[in-house]
Amino acid sequence: MKKYILVLIALVSLYSCDERGILENSNDVSYIYFTKNATNDSTSTSFFFYPEGDISVPVAMSLSGKMFDEDCSFKLEVVKEETTLDAANYDISGDFVFHKDRVADTIYITFKNSEILSSEIRRVVFRIADSEKYAQGDTPFRTAVISISDIASRPEWWDEDEWVIWANLGEFTIKKFELLIEANGGIPEITLDDSDMIRRCALTLKRYLEKYGPFIDENGDEVSVPVIG
């Protein structure tokens, strides 16, 4: 009798996991998925701060289970019913790659500007295409949401709660970001992991403000950065 009860419990547990979209990972299978939880986290960017042309938006990927022993190519698909951005504004036609011997990787999706983005924020929702080479991760991580516009807005990486931003660049203003780009002749794709890059960009802006300032931001305050050096 106990044996049948245990079997019943196991079957119920498997059914419950499937209902919640939660997978019990196997070390014999490679599971790839987006690092961000699409139900509560998305990526936002704006052409306003990148007037020179297209934008390559980084999208973080993760792997669990069996690691790839060679580079694994995969494709993305658009979730059309949840997407408001025109297909002419992005390019996912080629293959993307999750590199071997990694548990984390980054892909880049190219976006093109258009007139509608100067007045509206549009979004596109991607999912990972099925393949025999890998399995999908848990349901909330199977899609990625990217919002894009040509409207002035704080870039995602300028998170004032992060120490590296607070200590080097401080509070975000549109004018400060414009001057950061101007002083550095444009800025590379920034991640919070690259504290040296953030500090170099902040120091370059500080020297620029000392040489050509003062500048007043949209709040009526003088533009300044807290970086020491």
- CATH homologous superfamily for the domain 30-149: CalX-beta domain (2.60.40.2030)
Considering only 48-52, 96-100, 109-113, 132-136, which range has the smallest mean pLDDT?
Answer: 48-52
Of residues 141 and 40, more confidently modeled = 141
Average pLDDT over residues 105-119: 92
Q: Which of 48, 46, 50 shows the shortest CA–CA distance to 186?
A: 50
Residue 202 has pLDDT above 70, yes or no: yes
Per DSSP, the three-state class of 125 is: strand
Distance CA 140, CA 118 (A): 31
The pLDDT score that the predictor gives to residue 224 is 93
What is the mean pLDDT of the segment spanning 39-59? 82
* Cα(105)–Cα(176) distance, integer angstroms: 31
Place of tokens 């509560």: 40
Position 11 scores a pLDDT of 41
**Confidence category of residue 16, pLDDT binned at 50, 70, 90:** very low
Residue type, 48: F
- Give the pTM: 0.66
Query: How many Cβ atoms from other residues are within 10 Å of residue 101's Cβ?
Result: 9
The domain limits of the chain are: 30-149, 154-228
Query: What confidence tier does 159 reach under pLDDT thresholds 50, 70, 90?
Result: confident
Provide the token pair at 184: 């550095």
